[in-house]
Structure 1
Amino acid sequence: MIKIPHTVVLAALVTMGMFGGIASADAVSGPGSGSGFGPARVTVNDNQSEITVVGEGNLSSIPDVMRLNTGVEVRRTTAGAAFADARKAAAKLTEALLGAGIAAKDLQTNELSLGPVYDNYPVVAGYRAAQGVEAVVRDVDSADKVIDAVAAVGEEARLNGVSFEVSDTRKALKAARDAAFEDARARAEQYAGLAGDELGRVVSISEEGGTPPSPVMFSGAMAADKASISPGQQNISVRVRVVYELR
């Protein structure tokens, strides 16, 4: 019997828009294109007919949680005075955050420090004490209110940056997987037709390395500007390799 192999290469991308809707765009490229996708390979012979395709689904979601990294810092002539005043300022900061609607369970101390300040080492010019707090803001629309409350604490207050994240990525990942699988099936159907065959059952499915969501970071200086308090978007991608029978 004569074996007749064919090989076809594909890189496919399906881009999903804001969660709840899908906008698609297709790209086809060959090896060495820098796309990062694996091949879609069609092999036909006397014993077995299969097609392997790689599809990708991308989802853009709007973050619904902001993490505010804030705190207080004071400098005094003695270590005891610096530490005591830092603790008082931290209590005032905590009260301000609670008053701005942050739940007590969403406040976490992430820094507590005390040390000397030098003008000309080893001569000690004073002491610096600091206490940091991370506040989880679960209502992003209230971000301006929370940041204003921190600034109102006084000259001891510090804004060290914010980050945004999606609290529940399960729905986004599910939608990205759906898109990746549909992408793979569409490619498989197209190439099966080009090979003169029909698509059969799924032989195997494997999820490959995608892109996990990552926090969107902004600096403390940006956080001080209301116009910059925006959660932006986060992208989640899933890549799936599917093997189909051809018939």
Structure 2
Amino acid sequence: MPAMRDWIGKRLKSLGKTKGALSEHLGVAPARMTELSKGNRQLQSNEIMPFAEFLEMDPMQVLSMLSDPNASVDQIKEIGGAVVEMVGLEPVQNKKSLIPIRGEVAAGVWKQVDELYQGVEGLNEFADLVTVPGYPEDQQFALRVVGHSLNLIAPEGSTLHCVSHINGGAWDILEGELVIIQHTKFQGQMIENTAKRIRQGADGWELCPESNHPDFQKPLKVADFTHDDCDDEIRVLAKVIGINRKP
């Protein structure tokens, strides 16, 4: 596979680095590096980040090139809505990190606290997204869309690029933005995570669905959750700064 050898070799040469040094950085035998160059070995998931670091590349560029062994070094490929441009294998000046998937949004699906993140933590999965400048990288994460509560903008299987709203966040949430809402009841023992569009209604702030499904047409009125006799509680966990739509 000449294109694979071509871009790895040229990249190393442009940086004044050797294949042997790359092998040592990855902690693999030189023979394994040769197999990778020939396309006879796949880069392991735990090798992607150090591989990108050594070659001074955006990890998404590495994934882009490895996903197509016949890709040319100047190919422009779109991944997850982010256009990754390979221009003469010049070093990437503004590195960006991959976005971890931390859970799901599924309106109408209530879970107990102890099962909320069951099957999510420890998966080491990443979305086809990269961090957005202007927000702390460690506060950016992705959520998978389950069901039809966002089908007007994000079909089931899509991923939402979010930024945490811890302590109010260092950024404002404005009318019309999409936010991640945690709805709890029974003194916090049952939890529903969903995404809603925040709107200013006649009676105050409302959290409106982005769906044409009949089960998700009624907006949540924030004022309804402020009464002393209301056991339910809602709070904003994050705001959505991007969507990777599943076709």
Normalising by structure 2, report the TM-score: 0.20
Normalising by structure 1, report the TM-score: 0.20
The structure with the larger Rg is 1
